[in-house]
């Protein structure tokens, strides 16, 4: 019962945090480890449990969803390919290696997001109409590879990239981040399930909590002040950087 309560609570908190700022894995992955799952199985099971929360968070603020056009389709295909590659690499990599780059990637994404208001005027090759900016596809493909591989801080990374093209409307940024995270996690989940890397009892318990938390977070974004969202993203990134650096580099 304690393990079930731990997984349910971590799922709810993770879903809420993911919708608001990114960083659910900070809570959900350690909970899966505490439940006794091996690291790679814990990561795969965690990905399955929190993936529907991304879609629920996006739908909860559906007025800000982007229109379906060639640009969105191109980005989605690139991110699906990246997620599949990242998930495949995870399943063949030794466990001791799969978390090593995490702190550096999260730190970079956090700094990028924090500086996005200052960087945005410098990024003149913005996405327009049906065509992504020249740098968008490589950046999002790399983010998708990382998301399929591990996923901790994926929300922070996607938020940082999207913020450079969408300006200061953070509600729109968060909705698009959640939509892109749905693509990444959905493809990675299919790979993990096909390879039998998921422990279903723990996954289903966490899934229930993550669904409730993701929807609540998506609704909260609609009324939450912009500065709270911006600082919560930055704080989540800094906390994740510190925790994972201590855990995997010390």
DSSP per-residue letters across 20-81 = HTS-THHHHHHHHHHTT--HHHHHHHHHHHHHHHHHHHHHHTGGGPPP-SHHHHHHHHHHHH
Nearest to 177 by CA among 106, 233, 250: 233
Element containing residue 200 per DSSP (H, E): helix 200-221
Q: pLDDT tens digits, residue range 90-112? A: 999 887 787 788 788 788 888 87
Alpha carbon of residue 191 to chain centroid: 17
b or e along 48-75 (b: 16 or more beta carbons within 10 Å of the residue's beta carbon)? Answer: bbbbbbbbbbbbbbeebebeeeebbebb
Per-residue model confidence (pLDDT) at position 124: 47
End-to-end CA distance of the chain: 33
Helix (H, G, I), strand (E, B) or coil at 182: helix
Instruction: Residue 139: give the domain boundaries.
Output: 2-249
Nearest to 15 by CA among 63, 58, 64: 58
Task: Please report, for residues 70, 92, 141, the alpha-carbon distance to residue 97 in angstroms, rounded to integers and kept in the order given.
Answer: 37, 11, 21
Nearest to 192 by CA among 106, 94, 98, 89: 89
Per-residue model confidence (pLDDT) at position 243: 87
Per-residue model confidence (pLDDT) at position 85: 97
Question: What percent helix, strand, coil does the chain show, rounded to 5?
Answer: 80, 0, 20
Per-residue model confidence (pLDDT) at position 198: 96
- The number of domains in the chain is 1
Per-residue model confidence (pLDDT) at position 21: 64
Per-residue model confidence (pLDDT) at position 57: 74
Give the separation between CA 201 and CA 131, rounded to whole angstroms: 43
Per-residue model confidence (pLDDT) at position 228: 80
Can you list the residues of the chain whose pLDDT is less than 70? 20-22, 119-132, 166-168, 226
pTM for this entry:
0.81
Residue with tokens 């099971």: 45
């Amino acid at each position: 019962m304690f393990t079930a309560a731990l997984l349910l609570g971590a799922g709810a908190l993770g879903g809420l945090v993911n919708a608001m700022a990114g960083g659910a894995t900070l809570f959900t992955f350690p909970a899966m480890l505490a439940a006794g799952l091996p690291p790679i199985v814990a990561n795969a099971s965690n990905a399955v449990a929190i993936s529907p929360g991304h879609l629920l968070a996006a739908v909860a603020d559906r007025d800000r969803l982007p229109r379906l056009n060639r640009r969105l389709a191109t980005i989605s295909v690139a991110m699906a390919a990246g997620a599949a590659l990242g998930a495949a690499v995870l399943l063949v990599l030794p466990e001791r290696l799969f978390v090593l780059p995490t702190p550096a990637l999260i730190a970079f994404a956090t700094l990028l997001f924090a500086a996005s208001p200052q960087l945005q005027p410098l990024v003149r090759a913005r996405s327009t109409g049906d065509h992504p900016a020249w740098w968008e596809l490589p950046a999002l493909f790399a983010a998708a590879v990382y998301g399929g591989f591990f996923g901790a801080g994926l929300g922070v990374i996607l938020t940082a990239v999207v913020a450079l093209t969408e300006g200061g409307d953070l509600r729109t940024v968060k909705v698009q981040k959640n939509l892109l995270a749905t693509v990444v996690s959905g493809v990675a989940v299919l790979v993990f399930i096909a390879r039998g890397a998921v422990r279903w009892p723990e996954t289903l318990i966490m899934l229930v909590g993550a669904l409730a938390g993701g929807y609540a977070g998506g609704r909260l974004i609609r009324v939450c002040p912009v500065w709270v969202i911006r600082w919560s993203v930055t704080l989540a990134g800094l906390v994740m950087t510190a925790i994972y650096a201590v855990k995997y580099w010390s």
